[in-house]
Amino acid sequence: MENICIGITDSRKFEDYSKWILSVNPDIHIIRLSYQLDNVSQITECQGIILTGGEDVHPKFYNKSAYLPILDPNQIDENRDLFELKILASVFELKKPLLGICRGLQITNVALGGSLVPDIPSVLGNLQHGKIEGKDQLHEVNLIQGSFIQNITTQSTGIINSAHHQSAEQLGVGLIATAYSTIHINKKIIEALEWEQPENKSWLLLVQWHPERIAEDEFFSKAIRRAFLQEVTKNINDTNP
């Protein structure tokens, strides 16, 4: 993994994501991508990008400004939204491998024209997907057989952590949902997205849980990290034959 450089978007828990990657190889170079640094251009130096968790995406970016009254304005950062939308435009143009985590899934879905469930408890009547007293909850996830995420993890079901109150609703162009949690008989929450037709597209995996916080999990953390880093290594080898 010599000379690997990975861009990770800034967040309050940036160090968690950085440590998760560096625990595999401390020689990997991490670039903090942040609107304070205004460093979208540094994506050209990266072999892979991780979009991290954090604040809610402002609903105006998915044409649902009517949702604003049910959201906490202190949990919205439009500057971050705008910056990460620029990041995604560059990622797709340059075909960089992309791993989106929690908010990372949501902002990518929005960037591709999708929308979000603004607040799972009030809209879907479920209380199992946010933190309780500052701690992640745990719940079951079901993976679609034959999907990319199922092939990576080799699992059909499992237990994941949850710290979100929003989720993907209408899917962005080209995406398909490949993991769900069931909250009622006829209601499901999307837990993973990937390309519906990945041919001729860059590597992409979006998960709603936090693999960086379940780092000892063999399937839903280590396997995802391993697959991402394998693709990043392949990317550097392809650009440096």
Q: For the chain, which residues make up each domain, given as ranges?
A: 5-118+165-178+189-239
- pTM of the full structure: 0.91
* Three-state secondary structure call for residue 154: coil
Look up residue 127 and give its two tokens. 């209380």
pLDDT in tens, the chain (241 residues): 457 999 999 999 999 999 999 999 999 999 999 999 999 999 999 999 999 999 999 999 999 888 888 888 888 999 999 999 999 999 999 999 999 999 999 999 999 999 998 877 666 655 455 545 556 668 889 999 999 999 999 999 999 888 768 889 999 999 999 999 876 556 788 999 999 999 989 999 999 999 999 888 999 999 999 999 999 998 776 655 4
CATH hierarchy code of domain 5-118+165-178+189-239:
3.40.50.880
Order of all β-strands in the sheet with 175-184: 29-33, 5-9, 48-51, 98-101, 204-207, 187-195, 175-184, 137-143, 157-162
Could you tell me which residues come within 8 angstroms of residue 220 by beta carbon, excluding any fewer than 6 positions away? 141, 153, 155, 158, 160, 207, 209, 211, 214
How far, in Å, CA of 201 to CA of 182, rounded?
30
The pLDDT value given to residue 30: 98
Distance, C-alpha 49 to centroid of its chain: 10
How far, in Å, CA of 17 to CA of 11, rounded?
9
